[in-house]
Amino acid sequence: MSHDDFATEPVRGLPETPPEGERILWQGRPHWWWLSWEALSLPWVAGYFVLLAVWRFVTLIDRMPLGQALSYSTPFLVMGAVVIALLLIVGAVQARATVYTITNRRVAMRIGAALTVTLNLPYTQIANADLRRGRGGTGTIALELMGDTQLSYLVCWPHVRPWVMRRTRPALRAIPEADRIAQLLAEAAEARVSTPQIARRPAAQPIAAE
């Protein structure tokens, strides 16, 4: 029997039904390949194992026949392929479990494969958003938060701006059509911030006559 881990969500990617007046403008998730490539450092991992194989081959080539030197170097390439395959699985699982949501009032991020959390980031708490263009038409939008808002880098990883740990910056990682999504986010945030916020206060109670 199939089981949907997120079947309890009233709206996909959100922990509760949006309040009246809030509209979902966009929903998406990271591209699994480019998330793995960027967040899990696939090029560096592949290069490391290739370097080990080359080093092993160079140290053996002057002491044994070419074929035998190659056979002793090949296991490093096999180990590298296994590690990369495991990292790709991790990246695919992370991407599948993620839903980024942009509404006319906030950015919501449902993240985490083993430990699922949802971040609700109202535009009034976002100081800045930076777009970093990636490969394959993807890009990452990092959000700088205002005030004393602190998020755990480890809990949010890999959905953060890399290596910025002092003030964790949550990020929409490796999303397709990043330029269009960044423009949509900018317009929604500007419209929300420029809208006057009216606070409702309880009516004053009449003073009883003595």
**pTM for the model:** 0.81
The number of residues making up the chain comes to 210
Which residue carries 């990883």 as its tokens?
157
Give me the phi and psi of 205, to 5 degrees please: -85, 135
Closest CA to 132 of 156, 161, 154: 161
Question: What per-residue confidence (pLDDT) applies to 26?
Answer: 96
Mean pLDDT for each 10-residue chunk of the chain (210 residues)? Answer: 52 85 94 93 94 91 83 92 96 94 95 88 92 90 87 91 89 94 93 63 47
